[in-house]
Amino acid sequence: MSSLRKMVMSVLFLVSFMAVNLYSLGYVAVNGDTTLQHDVFDTCFVINVSGTSSNYVSLNLNNHIIWGPGQGIGVGVNVIGKTNVQIINGTIRGFNTGILFKAGGNVEVYNVSMNSVNYGIFDSACYSPYINCCTINSGVMGVFLSESNDAQVNNCDLFYGSYGLYVQACSGLIVRKTDCCYNSSGYGMYLNGAPWVEVSGCTFEENTTGVKMENTWGGLFMDYQTDQGVYRTLMKYNSNMGLYIKGANNQYNTFNHCDMRSNTGSNIVDQGSNNTFTNCDY
């Protein structure tokens, strides 16, 4: 990864993290399992404790909404250096960042919707995040993962940002049954330095480019799995390219049963080597 890109990502993280101090937000310290009883306004929840592998610390939104002061300001839920934490069942809207993870690991976001946010879930160096059944309509990125190994993104809708799913310097990522669509100024999924990735049963449609890969080698496996009832991955109807493999160092990636037809520009641009396409339509 170039030093310029590292610097840009560091600035993005600092903007997300520091923005909470630029507005007079309320502050709620979560020191154990917490369940909301009503909607909450102009408030940042900060997870202060870690759980155990058998007993996660839970912030249950209980079908309520955490309302922020407006898109681009503050963080809805802040989790720094904590492990075994889950955030479930509700809506976060009107912040710069919906949920921020920094360091720590074994964190879960389940059944949470996010609207009017620049970044839905921003994960920096927090290992094994599990993001499931979330709908995120973002201004910039639905989910951002950096140095977050062994992440899973399942059954999610990541719409209307510049990037649906942005991944850098992560290995062991699994993405299943996730739709990254209508990211009209960018990419459905962007992989940069992300070896050993599995993608199955996903849809990347009506973006500028469906999927872009850089510095990704030795293990992107894009397929469908009939034993799980998961069908082909779609990279269609994008305004530029369906699949863009940028650079010669993208090698030995496998694509099975993918449909990359009907893009306005090129269906596939493959600048790498030893990438294989089996039973694909393009």
Question: What pLDDT was estimated at residue 18?
Answer: 41
Question: What mean pLDDT is reported for the chain?
Answer: 87
How far apart CA 161 and CA 184 sit, in angstroms, is 7
- What pLDDT sits at residue 205? 95
| Dist CA 154 CA 152 (whole Å) | 6
pLDDT score of 247? 83
Write out residues in the chain with pLDDT < 70, as ranges: 1-24, 216-231
Query: What per-residue confidence (pLDDT) applies to 187?
Result: 94
Domain with 262, as residue range(s), is 3-278
Measured CA to CA, the distance from residue 282 to residue 99 in angstroms comes to 37
Q: What is the pLDDT of residue 195?
A: 82
pLDDT of residue 264: 94
In eight-state DSSP terms, residue 281 is: B
pTM, whole model, 2 decimals? 0.89
What integer pLDDT is reported at residue 255 of this predicted model? Answer: 87
Our count of domains for the chain comes to: 1
Counting every residue written for the chain, the total comes to: 282
Per-residue model confidence (pLDDT) at position 53: 87
Q: What is the CATH number of the domain that holds 175?
A: 2.160.20.10
CA–CA separation, 135 vs 154, rounded Å?
11
pLDDT at position 248? 82
